[in-house]
Structures are given as structure tokens and as C-alpha cells.
Amino acid sequence: MSSRLFQEIREKRGLAYSIGSYSLSYAAGGAYTVYGGTSPKHWEKVQELVRVEFDNVCKTGLESDEIERTKRNICGSIVLAWKA
């Protein structure tokens, strides 16, 4: 709920019921996926806002709190994977 996409697209603009992203990593590659639930009438605007947010990250990078939150999420995922 604290992600840039969630804040901009769902909370600020109300264009999607849900919005988020995740990554998949494999030895030979991976994928970064954005998902969302929106209406057909808002679909193009949501796509545009996702592109804008990705462009902003590419141009300005991530803020230190975003990097720390990401590190904690990765560590938590590793711990949960060990317990499985």
C-alpha cells in the first residue's frame, strides 16, 4: 500500500481497485510485472501513469527509505523461503 504506483494510481487518482508490482528472478533472466484492476475506460491512463513512474525512477533513482524497505522485503522473503 505504500508503493509509488498504489499511492499515485489508487489513492491519489482512484483509477484502479488494486495496483502493484513484483519481480521474478531466475538464473538465466527474470521479469518485472505490474498488475492492476481497473475499468476499460481508465486502462490507457493507468498505463500512462505506470510509464511515467518508471521513467521517474530511471531518471532520479530511488529514495533511501524505498531502498531500505526493499532490502527488508528481500530479507523477509529469504527467511520465509528457508522455513518452507
Start-to-end Cα distance in the chain: 26
Residue 30: count of CB within 10 angstroms of its CB: 9
What domains can be seen in the chain, in order of their start residue? Answer: 4-83 (3.30.830.10)
pLDDT of residue 1: 63
pLDDT of residue 35: 95
Cα separations in angstroms, 77 against 23, 35, 82: 12, 20, 9
Contacts of 3 (CB under 8 A, 6+ apart): 19, 20, 21
- At 25-83, the pLDDT tens digits run 888 999 999 999 999 999 999 999 999 999 999 999 999 998 998 899 889 988 998 87
pTM: predicted TM-score of the whole model, two decimal places: 0.78
DSSP summary character for residue 40:
T
DSSP SS3 for 65: helix
